[in-house]
Amino acid sequence: MSLIVMKFGGSSVGTPERMQRVARRILDRQQEGNDIVVVVSAMGDTTDDLIDQSKGLSLNPPSREMDMLLTVGEQISIALLSMTIHHLGGKAMSFTGWQAGMQTDNVFGKAKITDIQPQRITEALGAGNIAVVAGFQGMSPDGEITTLGRGGSDTTAVALAAALQADVCEIYTDVDGVYSTDPRVVKNARKLNEISYDEMLELANLGAAVLHPRAVEYAKHYNVKLVVRSSFTQNEGTSVKEDAVMEQGVVVRGIAFDKNVARISIMGVEDVPGVLANVFGALARNGIDVDMIVQSGVQDGKADFSFTVSGDDRDKAIGVIEGIRAVVPYRETTSEAGLVKVSIVGAGMVSNPGVAATMFSAISDLGVSIKMVSTSEIKVSCVITAEPLNDVVRALHTAYGLDTAEQVFVGGPSERR
C-alpha cells in the first residue's frame, strides 16, 4: 500500500461537475490500494472574488482580517469535496490547515510553515478515510489563522507529503505536465518527461506558474517525489527529481516570464562602503524582494545603480528609498513600470558557450531593447518592455529548438494557487 498526496487547484474543482470528476479520480486511486491525502484550493475565482469584496469596503484592510477572510474559500472546497466523496460511496474527512497540524510563523499573507503535526490525518487514514486538507493555510504560535501566499496550496501538499513520508506527491493542474514554456503562449510547447529540482526551482522563481517555488524547495530539501499531472486527462505527467535525464541536443529546457516587473534607479550615490547594504537592508526590512541589481561605473566619486522589484512593490520601494535619503544621499531616483522579465533555463547551459548570445540575437532581431540582464550557471534573464513579450517567447522557443509538431491540450483556465 502506498501513501499518495494529491493536490487539486481551483479550476480543477471550480464547478460541481469538475468536483465530481476529481472525487471519482481520488476514489479510483484509493481503490488501487492506496492511502490518499488530498489538498485542495478554493473553487474557481473564489479567492479573487473575496479580495474584490474586501476592496469594496476597505482599500487597506488589516492583514489579519484578510487572512481570516481568504481561508474561507478552501473550507468551502474541502467540505464540498468530502460530501461528494461520501455521495459516491467513499469515506472522507475534511481538515482545515490548523486541524491538519500546519504550524506557521506569524507573517500574515505570506506565512512560512515551521512545523507539521499530522496526527489527525494519520488517524483518519487509519480509519479508512480519505483525508481532505485545505491548502494555503495554517496557524501561528499565538493561535492566529495565517495564509501562505499565492501558490500556498502546492506548498501545503509537498510539506504534508514530507511530514507523512508519502510515496509521491501529485500536483494536478490544467496541463498534463511541465512544458518548455506556457502553452497558452506557445501552442506547440515541448512537454518535459522529467526535470531536475534545480531547473524547476529556477523556472518557478522566474515566473513559471505550474509550481510554486517554495513547494519545489520543500521537495528538494526533503527529497519528495513530485509529479505534475493534468486533472482533465489520464496522461503521464512530469517527474520533478534530483537528477533528470537530459534530452540529446537540448541545452535550454524551459522559457519562463514574469509580467509584473518594475525597475528603480538611484543616481548620484556616493561611492563609499555600506551604501548598498543600507539601501537593500532597508528594502528587506520592509518586506520588499529585490531581483536584479546593476551598478554602473563610478564618475567623480558618484555611482548609479538600478534594481528590479515586483510591480506591486514599486511605490512602496520608492517610499523606502526616499525615507533613507538622509543616510544615503543621492541626486535623484527614477522608476519604470510595465516591464517584463523573460528567462531561459537549462542545466546544460554551463557547458555550452553561445547560449546567451543566441538569446540576445533573437530579441534584437525583433527590434526589442534589453534593459537589464542577469545570469547564473543555469539561467539567463532579460528585462524588456511588455508589449513584445509573446513574440519574444515564441522566437526564443524556436531559436533553441523547442518547438514540436503537436499542440498542447489545456483543460481549463489557469490555476490560481
Q: Is 271 marked as a binding-site residue? A: no
Q: Is 74 marked as a binding-site residue? A: yes
Strand 194-196 and strand 113-116: the pairing is: unpaired
Q: Is 274 marked as a binding-site residue? A: no
Are 377 and 337 in contact by the 8 Å Cβ rule? The answer is no
Query: Per DSSP, which regions of 136-253 are E strands?
Result: 137-139, 145-147, 168-173, 178-179, 191-192, 194-196, 226-230, 238-241
Q: All 3 cell numbers of residue 400?
A: 533553441
3-state secondary structure of 159: helix
Q: Is 10 marked as a binding-site residue? A: yes
Q: Is 8 marked as a binding-site residue? A: yes
**Rounded Cα–Cα distance for residues 401 and 396 (Å):** 9
CA distances from 294 to 144, 371, 409 (A): 40, 10, 40
Are 178 and 200 in contact by the 8 Å Cβ rule? The answer is yes
| Rg (alpha carbons) of the chain, rounded to whole number | 23
Q: All 3 cell numbers of residue 224?
A: 519528495
Helices 355-365 and 389-399, interaxial angle, to 10°? 140
Are 349 and 373 in contact by the 8 Å Cβ rule? The answer is no
Q: Is 179 marked as a binding-site residue? A: yes
Are 41 and 106 in contact by the 8 Å Cβ rule? The answer is no
Are 93 and 131 in contact by the 8 Å Cβ rule? The answer is yes
3-state secondary structure of 23: helix
Q: Is 304 marked as a binding-site residue? A: no
**Rounded Cα–Cα distance for residues 170 and 234 (Å):** 13
Q: Is 73 marked as a binding-site residue? A: no
Helix (H) or strand (E) holding 328: none
**Rounded Cα–Cα distance for residues 237 and 216 (Å):** 16
398: Cβ–Cβ under 8 A, 6 or more apart, which residues?
none
Q: Is 330 marked as a binding-site residue? A: no
Annotated binding site for ATP: 7-10, 173-174, 179, 184
Annotated binding site for substrate: 47, 74
Annotated binding site: 7-10, 47, 74, 173-174, 179, 184
